Structure 1
Amino acid sequence: MATLTETAYYTRQGIKYGSIGLVGILVLWFVGTGVVSWWKATHPAPLPPPRVEFGRVADITFPESGVSVSAYDLQTPTGKLGKFPDRMLVLSAPSKRSGFLDADRAIDLASRLGFLFTPTQPSETLYRWTQSDPLPATLDVDIVSGHFTLKRQWQADPSLLVSKRFVSEQQTIMDAQGFLRGVSLLPADLNGPKKVSFWRAQGDRLVETISLSEADFVEVDMFRSNYQIMGEDKEVLAEYGFFTPDPEEGIVSVLLSGASDIKQKQIIEVRYNHTEVDYTLTGEYPIKTVETAWEELKNGGGYIASLQGDKAVVRRIELGYYDSGGEQEYMMPIYVFTGDNDLVAYVSAIRGDVIKTE
């Protein structure tokens, strides 16, 4: 039979080694949990294949560039092409179909723009209005798409070159937006970047100048708002811009004079090529690797939207969407290469195995 001393000794030993064992178990548990978490973070489970909801889609048809590149040089900050996702969303931009109300909608649009007379019809889908007061003007409307061009002959009123009242670039942007809002032509997604350019009269034509103080007219080009990918907590996970065939031209542009008395003399020209996009209807598609896109560009693929000279020095690569300014079934992702001498080049990003073949 153990003595009281022996019992106390073994009790102390049990507590000692039991405590050591418990600490060891806790350490192993925390270390093991950390190792598992690290392994999961560094070896994430592969994503399921892109869903390709719209099936095979037609590839982007770029316009003729007319620019010849003799050499490409990659000079990004890291000297590398960078890392990009393996998939992107294709956005639905359903084409408008011809219908019985096309003419009525075009006539209503013309009325809002101040053209009240009966139009001529140069083609099946084109209506043309003309007016002579307060300035000779022409309005061409595609009755199916709703795209239009409005031009007033500023040359008919020399006073426009004298009574200039430009306050600031921001005020001119607000004036252009106010005009579009007043005729119900300022959709919510036409709130992206704005480009302001300055123009002066030289004979009967306009030439670009460098400052507001020298300008007889100011043009505001408007681009579509960036498309944002939102997380569960409403944080922005990714953001992509929209790029037009001419990077300097928005899908909507407004040329304004400095006149302040008559609105119809202030708005000199409007080019409106906004296409509706259904941002709630998207499809997930696989995209090319940036290495594939880079090789395609160097081998003469893609589209050179802008370049002064014949040598392309690439400083930045990003993903975005091609906004053609025309009817297109989908807004498609592109790789955008930018760099020296106003270089802007596009390569279609959708992988070839999900592109329609003729």
Structure 2
Amino acid sequence: MATLTEVSGIARKTIKYGSVAVVLIILFPVFSRIAKTIYLRLNPPPPEPPTVTFGKLPKLIFPPTSAGNTPEYKLETIEGTLPRLPVVGRAYVVGINKSRLLELDRIKNKILPLGFVSEPEQLDEVTYRFYHPEIPAEVVVNIVSRGFAYKYDWTSNSEITGTKTVPSGNSAVTEAKGWFQNLGLLPDDLAAGTGEFTYLAATGSAMVPIDSVYEANFVRVDLFRADKDEQKIVTAGGDTSPVSVIISSAGDNKRTVQANYQYSQVLENSFATYPLKIVDKAWEELQGGGGYIAKRTIPVVIIRKVYLAYYESNDPQEFLQPVFVFEGDGGFMGYVQAVDSGFVQE
């Protein structure tokens, strides 16, 4: 028969080892998750096979460029090499209006707040020009793309050319977004996106960029879509956008002197996945004169950054597709279509 001392010792050991067991049971899931995370980082699972739902995709629409010598490229990224990038990417369907029925009436209602009340002049099957009845302004609209270009002739207005009190910085971006919102033309991805501003000075009948807001007669604001799938949406202009507005120092209907709106809706739930080129192949294409140069200011380009983004064309496109973006010194931006060539139409 166990003595009281022996029973007490057994009880203490039971409590001790029982406590250890409870702690281990509690910590086991935590250690298990940490171990799994480390393993997956070292051994990531292969991506799901591409769905290729839409068949071969069309070639991207890049603006025509003037013939010239291919730049000399040098790669000097932070890593010292090309980065490792995904080998599968998404292509989204873009909603394109194919019906012209009642579209002109819808556009009339959109531009009515700008004071355009007269009937338009038809330029071709899909393009119309409206003239403002009170000021030297016009707007050209496309009833298929639903895009428009607004222009006010500011050259004879001394109030504009003689004053330099344009909105600055973020105030200009906010005003630009408000202008489109008043027309019912500020979708969520533009509202949540960024805006870039450029100060301009009047020189004769032209506008030239200028650094100081205090010397500016105008400020141009370019609105960019918010990132998609944690990737930027880049444009044909590089640092300019198909959605932009130029604001003056004047008020009322002379405040905005120019605006462009070329916007296509991306269908969020209508996408397919496609195999992408390896980044080395895209780099070879760029060096060989392939792809598209959105911005170039110097003959020898040092590439500092390479990444994947989505490309937004100035023209209507069927799909929002990924591109490799090469950024370099002097503001250089070059794009190469990212979808593997075997899945792109000839």
TM category (shorter chain) comes to: 0.7 to 0.9
Moved more, 305-314 or 41-50: 41-50
**Mapped pair 1:139 → 2:128:** no
Q: Any residues of structure 2 matched to 1:40-189 within 5 Å, and which?
A: 42-66=42-66, 67-133=68-134, 135-189=135-189
Alpha-carbon distance between aligned partners in 1 of 2:105 and 2:138, rounded to the nearest angstrom:
19
* Closer/same/farther in 2, CA of residues 39 and 158 from structure 1, 3 Å limit: closer
Distance 2:125 2:85 in 1: 45
Aligned to 2:216: 215
- Distance in 1 (CA, whole Å) between partners of 2:94 and 2:164 is 40
Letter paired with 1:295: E
Question: Cα deviations across residues 207-266 of structure 1 (Å, max 9, x unaligned)?
Answer: 1111111100111111111103xxxxxxxxxx1111111112112111111123x2x110
Q: Which residue of 2 aligns with 1:278?
A: 267
For residues 247 and 218 of structure 2, the distance between their equivalents in structure 1, rounded to whole angstroms, comes to 6
State the one-letter code of the partner of 1:89: R
- State the TM-score, normalizing by the size of structure 2: 0.85
- 1:307 deviation in Å? 0.9
Q: Of the candidates 282, 285, 300, which is equivalent to residue 311 of structure 1?
A: 300
The residue type equivalent to 1:87 in the other structure is V
Paired letter, 2:304: R
Query: What is the deviation of 1:48?
Result: 3.1
1:204 matched to 2:205? yes
Structure 1 distance, partners of 2:214, 2:166, is 8
Partner of 2:337: 348
Alpha-carbon distance between aligned partners in 1 of 2:316 and 2:224, rounded to the nearest angstrom: 16
CA separation of 1:202/1:53 partners in 2, compared to 1, >3 Å: closer, same or farther? Answer: same
1:82 and 1:241 map into 2 onto residues whose CA distance is 17
Deviation at 1:122, TM superposition (A): 1.0
Change (3 A) 1:75 1:44: closer
Partner of 1:225: 226
AA of the residue aligned to 2:291: G
Bigger-Rg structure (1/2): 1
Cα 1:39/1:248, change in 2 over 3 Å: closer
Structure 1 position 271, deviation (Å)? 0.6
Which letter maps to 1:76?
Answer: T
User: Which stretches in structure 1 are left out of the alignment for 5+ residues?
Assistant: 1-25, 229-238
CA gap 1:40/1:184 in 2 versus in 1, 3 angstroms: closer
C-alpha contact 2:82 2:306 (8 A) present in aligned 1: yes
Give how far 1:352 is off: 1.3
**How large is the RMSD of aligned CA atoms in angstroms?**
2.5
* 8 A Cα contact 2:61 2:317, kept in partner: no
SS in structure 1 at match of 2:201: strand
* Contact 1:275-1:326 at 8 Å conserved across structures: no
Q: Is the 8 A contact 1:136 1:156 kept in 2?
A: no
- TM-score normalised by the chain length of structure 1: 0.83
Question: Number of paired residues?
Answer: 318
1:11-26 paired onto structure 2 within 5 Å? none
Q: Which one of the candidate residues 230, 254, 257 is aligned to 2:245?
A: 254
Equivalent-residue separation in structure 2 for 1:204 and 1:47 (angstroms)? 55
Instruction: Give yes or no for contact 2:246–2:259 (8 Å, CA) kept in 1.
Output: yes
Separation in structure 1 between the aligned mates of residue 225 and residue 242 of structure 2, nearest angstrom: 8
Match for residue 328 of structure 1 among 317, 329, 333: 317
Distance 2:93 2:51 in 1: 15
Structure 2 distance, partners of 1:223, 1:120, is 31
- Amino acid across the alignment from 1:64: P
Please give the alpha-carbon distance, in whole angstroms, between the structure 1 residues aligned to 2:294 and 2:58. 21
Amino acid paired to 2:90 = L
Residue by residue over 1:117-152, the C-alpha shift from the partner in whole angstroms, topping out at 9 and shown as x without a partner, is 01100111001011252x301110001111000000
Judged with a 3 Å threshold, the aligned counterparts in structure 2 of structure 1 residues 43 and 256 are, in CA distance, closer, same or farther, namely closer
C-alpha distance in structure 2 between counterparts of 1:41 and 1:111, whole Å: 56
Write the deviation string for residues 8-61 of structure 1: whole angstroms up to 9, x where unpaired.
xxxxxxxxxxxxxxxxxx9xxx9xx89x95766534443331111222211213
The whole-number CA distance in structure 2 between the counterparts of 1:40 and 1:317 is 25
Identity level (%): 32
